[in-house]
Amino acid sequence: MTARMSDWIPSLESVFKRFLESPSYRPMKRRELAAALGLPAPQRRKLRELLRRMRERGELVVLRNNRWARPDPARRRTGTLHVDGRGRAMVVCDGADGLMVRVEAAEVQALVHGDRVAVELTGRPAAGRDRVNGRVVAVLDRPRPRLPGLLRRGHGYWYVIPTHRRHPSNVRIRAFVPGVDPVEGHIVSARLDPWAPGQPGLMGIVEEDLGRPRDPGIESRQILRRLGLADEFPPAALTEARRISRRLTPADLDGRRDYRDQNCFTIDPPDARDFDDAVAISRLSDGGWEVWVHIADVAHYVPTDSAVDLEARERGTSVYLADRAVTMLPPDLTVEVCSLCPGEDRLCHTVHVVLDSSGRPIQEETHPSCIRSRARLDYESVQAWLDGGDPATVPDGVRNDLLAMADLAALLRRRRLACGALAFTLPEARCEIDDTGRTVAVRRRAADRAYSLIEELMLLANRAVARRLARARVPAIYRIHEEPDERQWENMAAALAELRLGPPPTDRASLNALLERVAGTDLEHVAAMTVLRHLKRAEYSTRCGDHFGLAFRPYTHFTSPIRRYPDLTVHRILVAIERGGLPPVSHLEADRIARHSSEMERLADEAEWESLDAARVAFYRALLDRGETGPWPAIAVGRTPRGVLVEVMETLQRGMVPSDLLRHDPSIGSRLDVRLVAVEPHRRQVTFAPAGPPFGLRHGRDRRLGQRIR
C-alpha cells in the first residue's frame, strides 16, 4: 500500500536542516533552536543528540557562547597536528600566514601527533597574533599509523601506553596479529585504526612484540616503528645486491680515467663502515692547487627502477642512530661493493678542480673513474697529527698532502665567510655503545679542523657539479635554503634579546656579525642553537635557488650516493650530461624525488636526535644508579617558570635546575658546576642541582627528586 503525501512526517533532522539552510538563520543556542522549531520536551532530547552527530560529521560548528552555526568555508583550514610533551595540541596550518590553531585536550584523545587534519576555527586571532582556537573536524591523513608502547591488561581488555611523550592517549587493543602473544609489561608496536567521527579514543591491533623495556636496542626499535622507518630490506633487494660482482672487468673500466696510482685516501669517523668519498691534492708551481674528489659510483651498480633502487628511493636516506646504522642500500653494497676500501680497486665519479693561489676555481670537470685508496684515516687521528701529536697516527705517505689540504680548506672557509656564509660552529656529541647495547661514554666531538678539511672539499665538489647541472638546463635536484621570513627574524630577535648580544640581526651580514662576536665564548653554542631554531630547513628542490646558510647559488648534493638518494639521482643526471644523452628523469619525477627525500631527511634527523637523546639519558641514569653524580661544568642556556635549563659542556646533555634549588638566578650563558639528582628516562628529563654546599635546598627536596625514578 502506497503512503499518501499527507501521511509523510518529516524527520527532526530534515526539519532542522531546512531551518539551518534558510536565509534568515542566525547562530543560536540549543534552547533557542528548540523554541524556534517548536519542539516538545521529548524532541528536545533528540535535538541534542542530532547536534552532536552533525558536529562530529563537520556539518555544524559551535561558536562562542555555545551558539550553533553552519561551517564557514573561509574558517576551515588544513594543517599538521603537533602535540607537546604535556599533551597540549596545536594545528600548524598550511599557508604562508603561519596560523596556529589551539585544540582542546579532549579532542586529542583520538588523534596522533603528526596527523594531517582539517580544523574549524571557533574564534578569531587577535590583532598581531597568529594563534586562534579551533576544533578538528577530520583527519585527512595519518602518516604515522604505528605507535610503540607498554602493553597492559585492563578488566577484560588490553591497552597500550605510548612511550613517547608526544602521544598522551592510550590505545585500546582489539586484536593481536597471528604469532604475537600478549605479554604484559612488554613493549609492543600497535597499528592504529583509521580515524572516525565521534571516535572516543585510539584503537588498534598489536602487530609486533619489540621486547622488554630495558632490553638493549629497545629505544631504537621504538623510534623506527613510530616514525615508520624500515630497518629490514625486502628479499628481492637483498638477493639483487648479493648478485652484484665485486670483481671489476675490462668492461667496467671502459671509458674511465685510471687513478689507481694516485695518492688518494679517505677520512671518516672512527666507527664508519661505508666510505663514499676519497680525496687527493697536488700543489702547483704557481701557488695554486689541483684537487680530485672521488665519489663512489653507486649509479653503475644500481639501475633505475631495480629492486634495490625502488627500496633506496623509498628510504631516501640512511639513518644513523646511536647504536646502529639503518642504511639506504643493502649491506653488500654499502660496506663492500661501493665502499672505497683501502687497497681495493673501486669505481668512482670524480670531480677534478684546479684552483688559483687565492682559492678561486679556474677549471672544473667531472668524469667516471677508477681508484685505489691508499689509506683509511679517521678524523680523530688526523686532528691529533695536525695538532702536533704522534706522527704514527697518520701514514707517512699522506702527511704532506694532509698539510696542503688543511691549508686549502682554511682558505676556502675564509672565502665562504667573506661571501656571507653563516659562521656556524655547532658541537656534536657521540655515544660509545658496548657489545651489549649499553651507553658507556658520551663525548663531545673535538676534531674540528679535520672535519672542516673534508667538509670544504665536499662543498667544492658539490658546487662544481651544481654549476654543470645549471649550465646543461636539464631537470635536476638542487639543495636550497631559503632566507628566514619576517616572522622568523622577529622571533629570532626576541630569543636572542635575552642573551644581551647587541642589536638584533635583520639580515645575513648582521647575523654573521653577531656570531663573530660570540665566537670562542661560552655563549657561542647557545647563540648558534638559538639562531638555528629560527632558520628554515634546507631542502631538496628542482628549483635552482639560493642556499642562505652557505651563501651559494647554485648548490647540490653529489658526494654521498651511498646514503642519500638525491645524490644518486644527481649522479645519473651527470652521466647523461657527460654522454650527451637525454636526462634520466623528467622535471616531475625529479620534483617527486626531491619532495620525498626532504621529508625522509626530516624523519631521519628526528630519529637520530631522539636516539642520541635516549642514549645520553640512559647514560646519566646508569651514572645515578652507580652514585656518580658529578660535579660537571655546565652553561645556563634557558629559563622556564620551573627553573633554569643548563647544558653539560662535555656531553651537551640538557637538564633542569629547579628554581627552589637555586640560591641565585644565573644569567643565560654563565657557567656553573652542577651535580646529578634525578633522571626520568620515560620523559627524557634530567634534573641537576648546583654543585657544592650549601645548595640552597629546601629540606627533603633532594631525596624526593631521587626517589621519583626508583
What confidence tens digit (pLDDT) does each residue in 213-266 have?
Answer: 888 889 999 999 999 999 899 999 999 999 998 889 899 999 999 999 999 999
Domain residue spans of the chain: 5-69, 73-141, 146-213, 235-482+536-610, 629-707
CATH 2.40.50.640 fits 146-213, yes or no: yes
| Equal CATH topology for 73-141 and 146-213 | yes
pLDDT for the residue 402? 93
Would you give the distance in Å from CA 140 to the centre of its chain?
23
Fill in the DSSP letter of residue 27: -
pLDDT at 96: 63
Distance, in Å, from the CA atom of 649 to the CA atom of 632, rounded to the nearest integer, reads 8
Burial call 294-316: b when 16+ CB within 10 Å, e when fewer = bbbbbbbbbeeeebbbebbbebb
Strand ranges (E), 314-466: 319-320, 325-326, 345-355, 361-372, 376-378, 429-433, 439-444
| pLDDT band at residue 549 under the 50/70/90 scheme | very high
Contact 709, 684 (CB under 8 A): no
- How far is 458 from 574, CA to CA, in rounded Å? 17
- In percent, how much of the chain has pLDDT > 90? 46
Phi, psi values for residue 56, rounded to 5°: -65, -35
Q: So what's the pLDDT on residue 522? A: 76
Q: Which CATH class is domain 5-69?
A: mainly alpha
Residue 466 CA to residue 472 CA, distance in Å, equals 10
pLDDT at 698: 37
Q: What is the pLDDT of residue 692?
A: 63
Among 51-65, 280-294, 369-383, the range scoring the smallest mean pLDDT is: 51-65
Burial 623-656 (b: 16+ CB within 10 A, else e): ebeeeebbbbebbbbbeeeebbbbbbbebbbbbb
Q: Is the pLDDT of residue 445 over 80?
A: no
Looking at the predicted structure, is the pLDDT value of residue 287 above 70? yes
Say which DSSP state 484 is in. P
| pLDDT of 397 higher than 90 | no
DSSP 512-559: HHHHHHHTTSTHHHHHHHHHHHTSPPPEEESS---BTTTTBSS----S
Q: What's the CATH superfamily of 73-141?
A: Nucleic acid-binding proteins (2.40.50.140)
Whether 472 and 576 have beta carbons less than 8 Å apart is answered as no
Check pLDDT > 60 for residue 9.
no
Judged against a pLDDT cut of 80, whether residue 6 lies above it is answered with no
Q: Decide: 359 and 456 in contact? Cβ < 8 Å.
A: no
CA distance 476 to 467: 11
Q: E-assigned strands of 420-519?
A: 429-433, 439-444, 478-480
Q: How far is CA 555 from CA 319, 537, 605, 662, in A?
A: 23, 15, 21, 49
pLDDT band at 4 (very low <50, low <70, confident <90, very high): very low
Q: Give pLDDT, residue 1.
A: 37
- pLDDT of residue 74 exceeding 80: no
CA distance 625 to 617: 12
Q: E strand or H helix at 61, and its extent?
A: strand 61-63
Q: Does domain 629-707 have CATH number 2.40.50.140?
A: yes
- Rounded CA gap, 424 and 524, in Å? 9
Helix runs in 111-229, H state only: 218-227
Q: Cell 656571507 belongs to which residue?
A: 420
**pTM for this model (two decimals):** 0.84
